């Protein structure tokens, strides 16, 4: 590695490290709801209520499971299944995406649900 290579890596690394606390500061701890967005619209689930829903995606169904205060994608029709292999998220700002299906699962706090519907 040349000196310029190291400087480039350092600059990119510093920018990324600086961005991490900025994003964390913008987040409020303790999300209480899960916004599932798909091609058919949005669905809001309570993070404290265990529940499993199937969301219609672009290439089939995406199974979203809320369990014990966290949410994960347990099954999907997408080819690479990155969403299924993603870890469960339970804190505000946590996100899981199934891009082939156009479905995202985001943990939100109070006042930012922009409710279309609440599923209980």
Partner 1 sequence: MRSSAEVSPRLRTVSTVASRRVALGGMLLVCAVALGLIESWLLAWSPVPWLRLGLANIAVVVALSCIGPRSAFTVSLLRVALVGVAAGTLFGPGTLLAVSGAVCAFGAMVAVRAAGPRFSVVGWSIAGASAHVVGQFVAAAVVTGSPALLSLVPLSVLASLFLGVATGLIARPLISRVMSAA
Note whether 28 binds partner 1 by CB under 8 A: no
Contacts of residue 104, defined as CB under 8 A and 6 or more positions apart, other chains included, come to 36, 37, 95, 96, 97, 98
Contact 31, 90 (CB under 8 A): yes
Note whether 29 binds partner 1 by CB under 8 A: no
- CA 84 to centroid of chain Cα atoms: 12
Tokens of 64: 């979203």
- For partner 1, give the closer residue by CB, 85 or 119: 85
- For partner 1, give the closer residue by CB, 71 or 100: 100
Q: Select from 56, 60, 97, 113 the one that contacts partner 1 (CB under 8 A).
A: 97
Note whether 82 binds partner 1 by CB under 8 A: yes
- For partner 1, give the closer residue by CB, 50 or 80: 80
Number of residues lying near partner 1 (CB under 8 A): 34
**Mask for 37-76, x = binds partner 1 (CB under 8 A):** x--------------------xx-----------------
Side-chain half-sphere exposure of 86, counting CA atoms within 13 A: 24
Q: Return d(Cα 40, Cα 90) in angstroms, integer.
A: 24
Note whether 115 binds partner 1 by CB under 8 A: no
């Amino acid at each position: 590695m040349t000196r310029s290579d190291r400087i480039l890596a350092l600059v990119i690394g510093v920018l990324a490290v600086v961005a991490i606390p900025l994003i964390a500061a913008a987040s409020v701890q303790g999300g209480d709801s899960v916004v599932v967005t798909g091609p058919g619209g949005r669905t809001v689930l309570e993070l404290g209520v265990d529940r499993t829903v199937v969301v219609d995606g672009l290439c089939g169904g995406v199974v979203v499971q809320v369990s014990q205060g966290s949410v994960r994608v347990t099954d999907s029709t997408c080819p690479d299944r990155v969403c299924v292999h993603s870890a469960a998220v339970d804190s505000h700002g946590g996100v899981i995406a199934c891009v082939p299906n156009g479905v995202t699962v985001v943990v939100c706090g109070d006042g930012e649900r922009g409710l279309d519907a609440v599923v209980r």
